[in-house]
Amino acid sequence: MEFKYFVIFLSVACIIFLYFLSSLSQPIEIYLEDISNYEGKQIIINGIVTEYRTTTYGGQIIEIRDISNTNSSHVVVYVEGETTVEYGDIIQAEGLVQRYKEDWEVVVDDSRYVKIIEKWSNITFPLWQLALNPDKYLGMNVNVSGIVERDYDSYFYLIDSGGDYSVAVYYDSSQFKNFSEGDSVSVGARFVYDTSTFRYTLRTNENCHNINVFERED
């Protein structure tokens, strides 16, 4: 009888020990600014996509920054294979931390370990938020709401309801002409700085960009 209980105890102890070992091997979620402390370790990291490109070897390089934008931390994520990420997406990546030249990067050996937490196109914010935080959104896809004003052949001005903030929206008139002056719209576009005019602008020059009408004013 005592031997029976000893076997049960030993089995439970083995299960607990194996669970403990598995917990140690699980990747931990870290902040971008702490990545230098985890060289050679498997981690999980979150960030906003600021750049992405495909390499000649079929892999993908994704640059992400801190979600809160409270610091300037940027990390490169190298993915074996391609993903469907876009500028402005919030993603989560699981991979190995290593040093590449002078930079830290996370190497992901399978694109399945890169998850899109939130698409940029699912978030619409007021124009003042873009105007007051231009550095936060520069170079990224954004979805901004406002009112169409002064519509020209290739661009119009998007203003807020109070007329306090505005931004020029450049578009292809053969592709986007589902709106009129005075319409309330959401604009999904790339937020860039125009060096010729020294102004921030929105440009709808990618397939994922759009101009959607909320309502029409009679």
The pLDDT tens digits for 138-165 are 888 999 999 999 888 889 999 998 889 9
3-state helix, strand, coil in the chain (%, to 5): 20, 45, 35
> Which among 53, 85, 50, 46 has a CA at the least distance from the CA of 67?
46
* pLDDT for res 129: 87
Whether the predicted pLDDT of 200 surpasses 70? yes
Tokens of 208: 């994922």
Which amino acid, 76?
V
Cβ-count burial of 188 within 10 angstroms (0-12 exposed, 13-18 middle, 19+ buried)? buried
* pLDDT for res 21: 47
Within its chain, how far is the Cα of 172 from the centroid? 25
Question: d(Cα 42, Cα 108) in Å, to the nearest integer?
Answer: 10
Tally Cβ neighbours within 10 Å of residue 38.
Answer: 18
The fold adopted by the segment(s) 11-118 is: OB fold (Dihydrolipoamide Acetyltransferase, E2P) (2.40.50)
Question: Residues 90-105: what's their mean pLDDT?
Answer: 90
- Higher model confidence: residue 8 or residue 151? 151
pLDDT tens across 32-56, in order? 889 989 999 999 999 999 889 888 8
Sign of CA dihedral 121, 124, 126, 130: negative
The fold adopted by the segment(s) 120-215 is: OB fold (Dihydrolipoamide Acetyltransferase, E2P) (2.40.50)
Question: Residues 185-213: what's their mean pLDDT?
Answer: 91
* pLDDT for res 126: 87
Highest mean pLDDT among 1-5, 16-20, 74-78, 121-125: 74-78
**Where do the CATH 2.40.50.140 domains begin and end in the chain?**
11-118, 120-215
Question: d(Cα 38, Cα 146) in Å, to the nearest integer?
Answer: 44
Residues 6+ apart with CB under 8 A from 29: 43, 44, 45, 46
* pLDDT for res 93: 95
Longest CA–CA span in the chain (Å) reads 91
* pLDDT for res 22: 47
pLDDT tens across 164-189, in order? 999 999 998 877 777 888 889 899 99
Q: Are 111 and 81 in contact (CB under 8 A)?
A: yes
